[in-house]
Amino acid sequence: MIRDAKILIQKLNSALVSLREKDEQLISSSIPFLIQRANEVVASEESDAQSRERFILLRLCGQENFISLPYAIACLLSSQV
């Protein structure tokens, strides 16, 4: 009985390690995509095009910030709106 429990625990441990490795691969491949999408500037109407271009130029010269991973995580975890 103890031997069976030990075997089941080893199988469970192997399955959990496999899941962790798959999660690590998924997260490491999705972070660059998420940051790219978070920093994408989209104009919804023609009148927004000038504002969009101005914002992009300000960002390029360092007067507007790019969204970084730590900032995005802090926003997700924050209870403040």
- From first to last of its 81 residues, the chain has per-residue pLDDT tens of 899 999 999 999 999 999 999 999 999 999 999 999 988 887 777 667 788 888 889 998 988 888 888 988 898 898 885
15 neighbors 7 (Cβ within 8 angstroms)? no
Gap between the Cα atoms of 49 and 66, Å rounded:
19
Count the residues in the chain: 81
Q: Supply the pLDDT for residue 46.
A: 66
- For the question of whether the overall pTM of this predicted structure is more than 0.75, the answer is no
Q: Both tokens of residue 9? A: 């625990």
The Cα–Cα gap between 23 and 4 comes to 29
The pLDDT of residue 6 is: 95
CB atoms within 10 A of CB 35: 16
Domain interval for residue 31: 2-77
Give me the pLDDT at residue 26, please.
94
Contact 55, 64 (CB under 8 A): yes
Distance, CA of 3 to chain centre = 42
Q: How many domains does the chain have?
A: 1
